[in-house]
Chains A and B, each alone.
Chain A
Amino acid sequence: QKEVEQNSGPLSVPEGAIASLNCTYSDRGSQSFFWYRQYSGKSPELIMFIYSNGDKEDGRFTAQLNKASQYVSLLIRDSQPSDSATYLCAAHNAGNMLTFGGGTRLMVKP
């Protein structure tokens, strides 16, 4: 079992809809969590991080963390075709390395 799990998708949503991306983790020692967006062949691009229980909003993006359930999510409001990419959830635990989930491929259809 991977330490960080994501549904590989693809997750298909129509333009303008809310995309909901989910991630679970197994290490209760994980302190903070990151969402990266990665276009094919490109580098991971930071969207946002979260380390406290609850919601954190940044523009069209909202990250949610529930440490009791070991669950992290990312909501993308008003999805655009340009949001089509692979979204990587990563946990920051003991040491400074990031442990990534397998990524969820999001497709936003015009």
Chain B
Amino acid sequence: AAGVIQSPRHLIKEKRETATLKCYPIPRHDTVYWYQQGPGQDPQFLISFYEKMQSDKGSIPDRFSAQQFSDYHSELNMSSLELGDSALYFCASSSLTSGGSTDTQYFGPGTRLTVL
């Protein structure tokens, strides 16, 4: 079965640079979520989109922005990168309109961002 696709898988940037992470949800999934996982920590919710509209916002820094496009893929844009932004960034997708009993999120393989 098709899974969530994320690109790139690894990214190395310098401080103050920008980065763009991409996420392609499972086909027919309408909701995308972004999580950040620092070393030794659990995933922290950043932001989510449902049908191309922002649906929830978590602990996302103002330096970060995201959007969901008409084909449901999403991009996380990160500017003025700091050393502390080094982490694994996961995208998850779900289908809120499938009529299922609960909203199950399936995670992509993640993008490992290293800021030097």
Q: Which residues of A contact B (CB under 8 A)?
A: 31-32, 34, 36, 41-46, 49, 51, 88, 92, 95-103
Contacts and interface: CB of A to CB of B under 8 A. Distances in A.
Nearest to A95: B56
B107 A44 contact: yes
A49 B102 contact: yes
A49 to B, nearest CB: 6
B42 interface: yes
A25 to B, nearest CB: 13
Given A96-B33, A96-B55, A97-B33, 20 more contacts: A32-B103, A34-B104, A42-B110, A44-B90, A45-B107, A46-B104, A46-B105, A49-B104, A51-B102, A88-B43, A92-B102, A95-B55, A96-B31, A97-B45, A98-B33, A98-B43, A99-B45, A100-B42, A100-B43, A102-B41
Contacts of B107: 36, 43-46
Contacts of B44: 100
B48 interface: yes
A92 B103 CA distance: 8
What class of interface size applies to chain B in its complex with A?
20 to 34
Interface of B: 31, 33, 35, 41-45, 48, 50, 55-56, 58, 88, 90, 92, 94, 96, 101-110, 112
Contacts of A51: 101-102
A48 to B, nearest CB: 10
A102 B37 CA distance: 11
20 contacts: A32-B103, A36-B107, A43-B90, A43-B108, A43-B109, A43-B110, A44-B90, A44-B107, A49-B102, A49-B104, A92-B102, A95-B56, A96-B50, A96-B55, A96-B94, A97-B48, A98-B35, A100-B42, A100-B44, A103-B42
